[in-house]
Amino acid sequence: MSNLKLELKEKIIEQLNLEDIAIEEIADTDPLFGEGLGLDSIDALELIVMLDKDYGIKLADPKQGKSIFESIDSMAAYIEEHRSR
C-alpha cells in the first residue's frame, strides 16, 4: 500500500504538471482539491483517465470521484480494492 501511495504521488505530480511540488510535500491525508494541492476540475478528469489507463478502473459515475479523490489515502484504498491491473 505504501508503494502505491508513493506511486500515486509521483503520477499526480508528473501527469498534472505540479512542477513546484515535491513528493515529500504531499501527506497521505492532505486534501487533493481546494486548500490542499489545489487541484481543479480538469485535474479531476485527468485522475479519472489515470484510474482507467493505469489501474483498469472505470468510474461509472464521475460523482464517485469526490470521495475517491479526497486524499492519497482514499485513492490508494479505492485502487487496492478495485484494480484489474
Partner 1 sequence: MKNDYHIQGYCHIRNNGVSLNGNSLYQREDDSFQDFIKGAYKHIEIDYSKFFKMDNLSKLAFLAADILLHKETEKNVGVVLSNKASSLDTDRKHQKSLKEYPSPAVFVYTLPNICLGEISIKHQLYSENSFFIFNTFNAEYLHTYANSLLDDQKSEKVLCGWVNFDDEKYDAFLYVVAKKGTFVHSEAEINRLYQKL
Residues that bind partner 1 in the complex, under the rule CB under 8 A: 16-21, 38, 42-43, 45-46, 49, 52-53
Supply the minimum distance, in Å, between the C-beta of residue 18 and partner 1: 7
CB of 48 to partner 1, least distance (A): 8
Least Cβ distance, residue 62 to partner 1 (angstroms) = 11
Strand partners, 39: 33
Nearer to partner 1, 42 or 60 (CB): 42
User: What is the grid cell recorded at 33?
Assistant: 482539491
DSSP labels, 13-58: HHHTT-TT--GGG--TTS-SBTTSS-B-HHHHHHHHHHHHHHH---
